[in-house]
Structure 1
C-alpha cells in the first residue's frame, strides 16, 4: 500500500468520526429574541432539535411554553417561519451559500404576572449528520455496510460542497482585494499628478508676480 492510499484511508476514517453539529443552551426570557449565524454552502440540510426548560420560580403558574423560529438567508429572504411547542425540531435546506440568520424567541410577557423565563437546549446538525440513516435504511432496505457507505459518501459530498464554497469566497475576496489595491494605486497616482500640477502652477504664478513687481 503506497502513501497516497494510506492518506486516503486516513481522510475517510476522519470523515466518519467528524460530527458537523453544534449543541448549546442559553436562557431566553419571554418577549426577547436571540439570533445567531450559521454559514453553509448551497444545498445543505440543517436540522435543529430543541427543548425548552421552564425557569419560572413562582409556584402555581402554568403557562404553555412556545418557541418561534425565523430563518433568513444571505439576501434577507425569509426561509423558515415556524411556531412550535416546548420541544420539537425544525429543518431547512440552504438554497444559496452564505450566512443564514436564525432568530429564536419564546412567549411574550403576560399583562399580569411574571415574565416567562426559559432555558433553551438547542442541537443543530448540519449536512450528512442531519440525515436519519436509520429511517433511510428502513425505507431503502439497506444493510449496515450499505448504509455506512452511504453515510461516508454523503460526508464526502458535504466536504466537496464546503471546499467549493470556500474557494468561491476566496475568489470573491481576492477580486475585492485586487480591486481595492488598484483603486488605491490610481488614487496615489492622481494625488501625485495633482501635486505636480499645483507646484507648476505656483511656480508660474510666483514667476509672474516677481516680474510684475520687477524683482527679477
Structure 2
C-alpha cells in the first residue's frame, strides 16, 4: 500500500509540471485573431489540440500556415480538434485562433502543443528531477504512461468531435426532409382545395345557365 501511495505521489509530481508546460488557456476577443509560431526543423513533429470552453456557440476558427505562408490545415467554426504533422520544410510555422465571425462574444479556449520546444523543456525538467534520484526508472515508466494517456485523450477528443459533426449533419438532413415533406403536404392540400373550389363554382355557373 505504501509503495502504491509513493507511486501516485510521484506520478502527480511529474505529470503536473509536464502538462503545465504545453497546455495553455487564452481568451480570444470578438473580431480578433490570435497567432502563435513554432520553429520546426525538417521532419520535426508538431501536435496541436484545442477545445473551446466558453463563449457563444463554443466555436472558433483555426488555421496553421507553412513557412511559405500557405495554409496547411484550417477549420471554420469548430469547438475542438486535434491535428498533427511532420514538417516538410524548415522554418516558422504559424497557427492562429480566430474569433472574427463574432461581433460581440469573447471565446475562452484551452490548447495543447507538443513540439520540439516542449519536448526539450520536458527532458530538461526530467533531467533536473532525476539528478541524485533513485526513482529514475519509475519516473521513466510514469513518463511513458503519461504520454500514452495524453495521446488517448487527444484521440478521444478528435473522435468526439467527428461524432458531434456527423450527428449535426444527420439532424440537419432529417430536419430538411421533414420540412420538405410538410411543404409538399401543404402544396397538395392547397391544390386539392383550389380544384374543389374551382369545380364547385364551375358547376354552379353551369347550373345557373341551364335554369
For this structure pair, what is the TM-score category when the shorter chain's length is used for normalisation? 0.3 to 0.5
TM-score (norm 1): 0.46
Greater fraction of residues in helix: 2
